Structure 1
């Protein structure tokens, strides 16, 4: 398996990005990259990619990191990612990508997108290397996490989860805390807030509809817990992350290379055009 190496001594440089939708039968024009990466998160697939002579098929919730950068020789603060893999917790990556794409008020002295892109790669690294392993407790909790997601409801309780796992509720909570850093109840709320966040940035549902579909019985309780978890009300959160560049098979606008990126590389073809 091919891996890409990233040195986190400084933030990565964000160039451009957006959300793309295409229908069957459409082919992207050939692209050329030198000294950069293309990160693709597949929401609904399949997507058929060819990188050089290698062909890949991405399905829903799979991530592709097209490698075009030589691995760093530094051994400090490095992370490694395979060229493509399936995300176990794609919701967190989806939310972070939306945050990156929605930033529109860049400050002259700080590039927020660069920091968020670095955070995204760290999150992907953790997602890949924290996959279920042979540890019995970790495997049991990972199985329970999947069961919780499949059986989530507004009435699901810690007692029901403990009964499903044949464990004492207090012991289950200690085990959850040990493996995830969250108690069982905190994890339940975390999943609900994740669902709400995705609905806020991916749909036009009303706040009440989102509360209902996020397994909250009371919209007021939902709004209180959402603000406690994110620091923003649901409405504020939606307004903060709703300006995303949308691309399609017919529109491919030329986006100027930021000066800080142009200054750091010797050549970067406009919009990935094949050099003559």
Structure 2
């Protein structure tokens, strides 16, 4: 009811319809953000592109896994560059090359690198993720250098965490992707040497311990040290840690861009929580477990 949806609505009875309604509600709140921050167009553009990159990552993962198009959309948030209809069109593509071709046709900067990573054979999911992450990191870091302050700190941390997730994926893996080629420049706390050491670890648990040492005593370090069994759990933990950090930054600089950063992360966290509740309850997951996993509590 808080989101304007009641149990009597069609959306209130069908989890897929409810998920769509919540996604549209989040898009409406992003439009509020656009009006609120229209005096900071560069910051807004950077924040919206960060959402686009997360949506594209979710769509690519879902496409590679062959999940239903509605499930691919579950982790997406519409933005001016990728509105609901565009996301639905991308989610309907049967493979990554055709998804990348659409992005190229729409002149998205993510189209060409994704097409190159996809090739014509069976694409490597990690290579696809890296193509998206590298494009985002290069563009975001260039903008953040100009904006400075909390925006640059936000982008640096985002790059650090992208590198951390990549290192966990590479740990214990044999393949053609060398750690030196997977590192994204522009971070702050996770240096190349620590990244490559984590990539060479015998398994993800040891890699997580090595990565956690880059954030000693900090919430992000504790997330990594816990070595979650799956990426979704790690993503929720890291999002919660970033949200707490953004809240502190907003208190220190309420008149700068920090409130915009906090608003964005809070919106992403709420969307993550609501999505997990909708589908978790529909699938009969224990309520106590769902509550324990909430980011915004």
Greater helix content: 2
- TM-score of the two chains, using structure 2 as the length reference: 0.27
Specify the structure having the higher radius of gyration (Cα): 1
Greater strand content: 1
- Specify which structure has the bigger relative contact order, considering alpha-carbon pairs within 8 angstroms and separated by 6 or more residues: 1
